[in-house]
Amino acid sequence: MADETRVVQAGEWRAALLAARDDGYRFFDWLSAVDRTDDDAAPGFDVTAHLLDVSTPGALRGVLLVTRVADGQPVESVTGVYAGAAWHERETHEMFGIDFAGFDDGSGLAIRPLLLPDGFEGTPLRKSFQLAARASKPWPGGKEPGEGHESAKSPGRRRVAAPGVPPADWGPR
């Protein structure tokens, strides 16, 4: 059976996850985001959470909750509903720049970096993020064979004789 998908309004995010938990989806699987800033109709980010109902052996049920959040707008934290959401919300905040209002992981600290090194600037999973490697040197690949950066072209291969066959200039002939 395919997972059920529930699309909810951003203001109802926490309530929707709380209702799903009350419906039996007690296992928090993951939470992340998808950059939809190029969507002409409703640009922003789809914040998604996947929950599972594991109460019936052999009958696993899943639900995917999705909400669209405008760039710069916070979404309500669900750490009070699922404690395991704290790691995922920190990662999503760091990689997409989405704020989670009311975030509390029990440490007494606010939402903070999780994976990137100290001093890193930017949100690497946004479509607008410029990879530093691409700014300093061109992409080596090409759309057609033979296209691409000169350093990416493979050198010519030398012919190799079968094992045990001496080279042509070896010994008397």
CATH number at residue 20: 3.30.460.80
Residue 48 domain flag: yes
Instruction: Report the chain's mean pLDDT, rounded to a whole number.
Output: 86
Q: Give dist(CA 167, CA 137) in Å, integer.
A: 42
Residue 125 domain flag: no
Domain residues for the domain of 27 are: 4-117
Residue 83 domain flag: yes
Q: Give dist(CA 53, CA 133) in Å, integer.
A: 43
Phi-psi region of 125 (alpha: psi -120 to 50; beta: other; left: phi over 0): alpha
Looking at residue 61, its amino acid is: R
Can you tell me whether residue 132 is helix, strand or coil? helix
**pLDDT higher at 26 or 161:** 26
Q: Please tell me the predicted confidence (pLDDT) of residue 36.
A: 96
State percent of the chain over pLDDT 70: 76
- Is residue 132 very low, low, confident or very high in pLDDT (cuts 50, 70, 90)? low
Angle at 162 between CA 159 and CA 167, to 5 degrees: 70
User: pLDDT at residue 96 above 70?
Assistant: yes
Specify the number of domains making up the chain: 1
User: pLDDT at residue 105 above 70?
Assistant: yes
Residue 148 domain flag: no
Residue 141 domain flag: no
